[in-house]
Amino acid sequence: MERHPRGHEGGAAPGRELTPPEMLGESPAWAEACAALPRIAASGLPVLLLGETGTGKELVARALHALSSRHRAEFVAHNCGATPDSLIESELFGHSRGAFTGAVADRAGLFEAADGGTLFLDEIGDASALLQMKLLRVLQEGESRRVGDTRLRRVDVRVISATHRSLEPGVAGGGFRADLYFRLNAVRLRLPPLRERGQDVLLLARHFLAGAAARAGREPPALEPRLAERLLASPWPGNVRELANACAFAVHVAGAEAEVGVEHWPEGAGAGGEARVPGRAGLHAETRALEERRLRETLERTRGNKSQAARALGLSRQGLLKKLRRYGLTADECVAIALDAPRRGP
């Protein structure tokens, strides 16, 4: 799948800059990751991006595409946990008119859309067994066939995948195909969490606050020293995404103007401080605690089966996965909950 893209000459266009605002940073950990990007982009190899939620995996994938010889073609992103098995073939490979009920026109799939460019597979660890099998086949053969069509189409796609958790336990336990893992893992890049990036948190906070203020027609606010100390000490489970949301809250909801202080900061952001909207602290905290308890109890009752748990809670599987990530209930912890649950019945 790594033949040279049609119509692409050389590498990235001269002078192309790797400067999305969310990729700002001067810490050694972040600088080391970014320094490797031009070499990785030029290699043309599949890339596996590792990092917690909110660390910028899609931004880095887009940067790799922009720096590569494929930058004139499409960058196509897909969340691997978002498509039910019944639609996987149509999503990946497209379909012909009349292939099934509702197929009223020909439709190209993700691989055709990304032909000559890059396909970003986000949360590859959430891929179902069927999706893994279909991905492996097209990566091996370099060909796709639309549902309801007999014609094979050659596709030339560079795959960049990302996961917030290690895939090795899944490979060892049989939940993730080893042959697919080794195809995706030609180059491996770990993105550091925000808590490992030192002063970058203040650099990013000032950028996000300035952007929020500009959208509100105001001057960039200063960062109160007491709040700056708190930001530096925070663990940031949601990383850069969490910081960006907190900065937007401080300006647009809490009404910070000349200076952003602790009193403007949202409850739960970073270190999980007290509520900044009067009267909301106890209620919001209690709601989160209740939701987390319900998730744990349902996972216990279904012995870690996420599909059954989603149905019991009235959620989609993807909605359940988002909530599990929000509360730090990783796959390993879900398994532990299931193993600790008392056995019911004989």
Over residues 65-106, the pLDDT tens digits come to 999 999 999 999 999 887 787 778 778 887 666 555 665 566
For 124, half-sphere exposure in the C-beta direction (CA atoms, 13 angstrom radius) is: 32
For 30, half-sphere exposure in the C-beta direction (CA atoms, 13 angstrom radius) is: 22
Q: Tens digit of pLDDT per residue, the chain (346 long)?
A: 544 444 333 444 433 444 566 688 999 999 999 999 999 999 999 999 999 999 999 999 999 999 999 999 999 999 988 778 777 877 888 766 655 566 556 677 888 889 999 999 999 999 989 889 989 988 988 887 777 666 778 889 999 999 998 899 999 999 999 999 999 999 999 999 999 999 999 999 999 999 999 999 999 999 999 999 999 999 999 999 999 999 999 999 999 999 999 999 998 787 544 333 434 434 455 566 667 777 777 887 787 788 888 888 878 888 788 777 776 665 544 544 444 444 444 4
CB 335 within 8 A of CB 304: yes
- Strands 75-79 and 118-122, how do they pair? parallel
Q: Write the DSSP string, 297-342.
A: HHHHHTTT-HHHHHHHHT--HHHHHHHHHHTT--HHHHHHHHHHSP
Q: How far is C-alpha 269 from the geometric centre of its chain's CA atoms?
A: 19
Q: How far apart are CA 191 and CA 107, in angstroms?
A: 35
CB 106 within 8 A of CB 94: yes
Residue 79 CB contacts under 8 Å (≥ 6 apart), including other chains: 122, 123, 126, 318
| Three-class secondary structure assignment of 103-133 | CCCCEECHHHHCCCCEEEEECHHHCCHHHHH
Q: How far is C-alpha 308 from the geometric centre of its chain's CA atoms?
A: 24
Q: How far apart are CA 83 and CA 94, in angstroms?
A: 13
CB 12 within 8 A of CB 117: no
For 201, half-sphere exposure in the C-beta direction (CA atoms, 13 angstrom radius) is: 25
Instruction: Give the DSSP H/E element, type plus range, for residue 292.
Output: helix 281-301
Q: What's the full length of the chain, in residues?
A: 346
Which segments within the chain are labelled E, that is strand?
Answer: 47-50, 75-79, 94-95, 107-108, 118-122, 143-145, 152-154, 158-163, 187-190, 222-223, 259-260
pTM above 0.95, yes or no: no
- Strands 158-163 and 47-50, how do they pair? parallel
- Strands 152-154 and 158-163, how do they pair? unpaired
